[in-house]
A = this chain, B = another copy of it.
């Protein structure tokens, strides 16, 4: 498949609006590289800004679901949508946030076999149903979540994260955003 830069050419840093260039340089400083999703989306500054504003409010929240749980949802639902970028990039983040080097691969292949709690299993069952047949979601689903003491606020988060990354998966699949090589190994080794 043609690389995304052929069909959707990536702008130079110099050509980007100030706020976008600043965000990208910040990420680069922190991570040591620029994740490809930033470069591809930078072609369209308004979409870039809305995308990352949405992303940040869902993924950086400090209450309710843990940050590791939020990443579990991303990995499980992105695997359903077969989005290479999101599974690899967020798998890396999940390994780091959960401090569990094996967890992301387990969730990506079959979360039903993963080393997670019953509550997390219910969370991922719901996330996958939102991903594949949200039109069938109803009271019996909410009853299961309530049994596991997932609050309405957490339910919204599960649904919104699944939905947001369902969008991200489709954009990455079509524009052919591929994961940076760095992601594959991140979080697999103990810190020296």
Contact = CB atoms under 8 A, between A and B. Distances in A.
A140 to B, nearest CB: 10
B188 A135 contact: no
Interface string A24-62: 000000000000000000001011011101100110000
A188 B44 CA distance: 35
Given A54-B51, A159-B174, A164-B167, A184 B137 contact: no
Interface string A167-192: 11111011110100100110011000
A167 B55 CA distance: 13
Contact of A174 (B84, B105, B134, B175): B134
Interface of A: 1-2, 7-8, 44, 46-47, 49-51, 53-54, 57-58, 79, 81-84, 87-88, 101-102, 105-106, 108-110, 112-113, 130-131, 134-139, 142, 152, 155-156, 159-160, 162-164, 166-171, 173-176, 178, 181, 184-185, 188-189
Given A109-B87, A173-B135, A181-B102, A57 B53 contact: no
A169 B109 CA distance: 12
17 contacts: A1-B113, A8-B152, A47-B54, A50-B50, A50-B51, A51-B54, A53-B53, A79-B109, A83-B110, A84-B106, A84-B109, A87-B105, A135-B173, A155-B174, A163-B167, A167-B167, A184-B188
